[in-house]
Amino acid sequence: MRTFAFSAAENVDQAIIACESNNAEASYIAGGTTLIDLVKLDVMRPERVIDLNRLPLKEVERLDDGRLRIGALVSNTDLAHHPLVTQHYPLLSQALLAGASTQLRNMATTAGNIMQRTRCPYFRDVAAACNKRDPGSGCDALGGINRMHALLGTSEHCIATHPSDMCVAMAALGATLALEGPNGVREIAFGDFHRLPMDRPDLEHELEPNELITHITLDTPVVGGGSHYLKLRDRASYEFALASAAVVVAVEDGVIRDARLALGGVATKPWQAMEAEQALTGQPAKTESFEKAAEIALADALPREHNAFKVPLARQAILRALEKATQAAMNS
Ligand SMILES: Cc1cc2nc3c(=O)[nH]c(=O)nc-3n(C[C@H](O)[C@H](O)[C@H](O)COP(=O)(O)OP(=O)(O)OC[C@H]3O[C@@H](n4cnc5c(N)ncnc54)[C@H](O)[C@@H]3O)c2cc1C
Ligand code: SF4
């Protein structure tokens, strides 16, 4: 492991100044559950690490307009069990608790979860060719073992999945990120934050140099909505998704009034299935509508040698999550 300079910031301004000083390759650290692993593997090589843990960004609060504002440093455990989340956004709670392990969730933060890097094994192996880690070097996953890799949003330069569960729920719920950096404060829609790999898989998000995430604000909850997060994986705990589906639906007189659908484990970014959402709206809350939506959501799926099984798996995840969310909506 390479050595790095370490400092702890007391406030956001101090963190930004520390990050941009000395022209050194710098990185923020929160829970450290992604960063330290990757530093040990020599995949990330920060010369300076700025600890954010003393920043006053650990609150969850309901805004006057009904939205929920989450501080960047709220731990995954605290967020999953927060009464405002369990009551108004049970989907988010379910997704968080489906991720990692209790110990990891205690350390992991909301912003760190959004910023976590892919679990592609070639990205994590410095002896492999990887355009994301070393732009222009190639992609060993394309002709290698690509069982865990993505079907949607891929390019000939990268087929790695975004591994987060929490982000899939946020994509379905709708959210806005508050960012702060040397050029001031700005906001960005959650759906616009993560980038598709295209020909620059190393550029993963819209954060500018030295900018940090300060808050995540969830949209107002869907009135009368039911929800469900379904994660399918190789073992029941401590494992990343092979396919997951996050659904929120509101049903009136047996007809879907509002539908949100996002997918995980199968896409290069948290994947909002917008065309499928539109197809569901106004349709009877029945299996035929769910099947049509699943077909639309996966129409652009591009399987590789080892991951074709993910197409029917994702289809089942969508169908089951839609059934469960619809039942919850009709019982609410
Ligand atoms: C064994 C294992 C299993 C896991 N399983 C799952 C799983 O099943 N599902 C799942 O969703 N996740 C899983 N994870 C990932 C885990 O959720 C993330 O590692 C965690 O959420 C990262 O948060 P952190 O605070 O520890 O981030 P850190 O490691 O501190 O930081 C990660 C990145 O985010 C940046 N960063 C942190 N805070 C900010 C900020 N405020 N603004 C800008 N940049 C910031 C850092 O610079 C760094 O680049 C697993 C992790 C491990 C190690
Ligand atoms: S899929 Fe992406 S992360 Fe994995 S080796 Fe290829 S370029 Fe790297």
Q: Using CA atoms of 135, 138, 139, 142 in order, give the dihedral in degrees to the nearest 10.
A: 150
Band (104; pLDDT cuts 50, 70, 90): very high
What is the Å distance from ligand 2's center to 159 Cα?
6
- The CATH number of the structural domain formed by 225-331 is 3.30.390.50
Query: Of the ranges 9-23, 26-40, 56-70, 100-114, which one carries the lowest mean pLDDT score?
Result: 9-23
Q: Minimum-distance ligand to the CA of 73?
A: 1
Band (24; pLDDT cuts 50, 70, 90): confident
The string of pLDDT tens digits covering residues 291-318 is 999 999 999 999 999 999 999 999 999 9
CA-to-CA dists, residue 163 to 43, 74, 100, 286, 328, angstroms:
17, 19, 11, 30, 27
Query: What pLDDT score does 1 carry?
Result: 81
301 CB near ligand 1 (under 6 Å): no
Atom of ligand 2 nearest to the CA of 131: 7
100 CB near ligand 1 (under 6 Å): yes
Joined together, the tokens standing for residue 232 give 């399918």
Return the residue whose CA atom lies nearest to atom 8 of ligand 2. 130
Please state the pTM of the whole predicted model.
0.98
Is the pLDDT at 113 greater than 90, yes or no?
Answer: yes
